[in-house]
Amino acid sequence: MAKSAGKKTSPKEPKRAAESEVTYRTLKDLLPEERPREKLKQRGSQALSDGELIAILLATGSFGETVTDLAQRMIGDNGGLYGLMQQDLAVLTHYRGVGEAKAISLRAALELGRRLAATGPEVRPQVGSPEDIANLLAIEMGALEQEQVRVVMLDTKHRVMAIRTIYQGTANEARVRVSEVFKESVRAGAVAIAVAHNHPSGDPTPSAADVSLTVDLEKAGKLLDIEVLDHVIIGRGRWVSLRRLGLGFSA
Domains of the chain, each with CATH number or no CATH: 19-117 (no CATH), 122-245 (3.40.140.10)
Distance from C-alpha of 155 to C-alpha of 161, rounded to nearest angstrom = 6
Angle at 107 between CA 93 and CA 110, to 5 degrees: 135
Distance from C-alpha of 143 to C-alpha of 140, rounded to nearest angstrom = 6
Q: Are 231 and 248 in contact (CB under 8 A)?
A: yes
Q: Are 152 and 160 in contact (CB under 8 A)?
A: yes
- How high is the pLDDT of residue 117? 63
- How high is the pLDDT of residue 20? 36
- How high is the pLDDT of residue 167? 85
- How high is the pLDDT of residue 115? 75
What pTM did the predictor assign? Answer: 0.56
- How high is the pLDDT of residue 19? 39
Other CB atoms closer than 10 Å to residue 244's CB: what's the count?
13
Torsion sign across C-alpha atoms 104, 105, 111, 115 = positive
- How high is the pLDDT of residue 27? 58
Distance from C-alpha of 200 to C-alpha of 59, rounded to nearest angstrom = 32
Q: Could you give the strand order of the β-sheet that contains 160-168, starting from the edge strand earlier in sequence?
A: 160-168, 148-154, 192-198, 227-234, 239-241
- How high is the pLDDT of residue 24? 43
- How high is the pLDDT of residue 208? 94
193: CB partners within 8 A, 6+ apart: 151, 152, 153, 154, 181, 182, 185, 221, 226, 227, 228, 229
| Positions in the chain whose pLDDT score sits under 50 | 1-7, 13-24
- How high is the pLDDT of residue 16? 41
- How high is the pLDDT of residue 193? 97
Angle at 79 between CA 221 and CA 115, to 5 degrees: 80
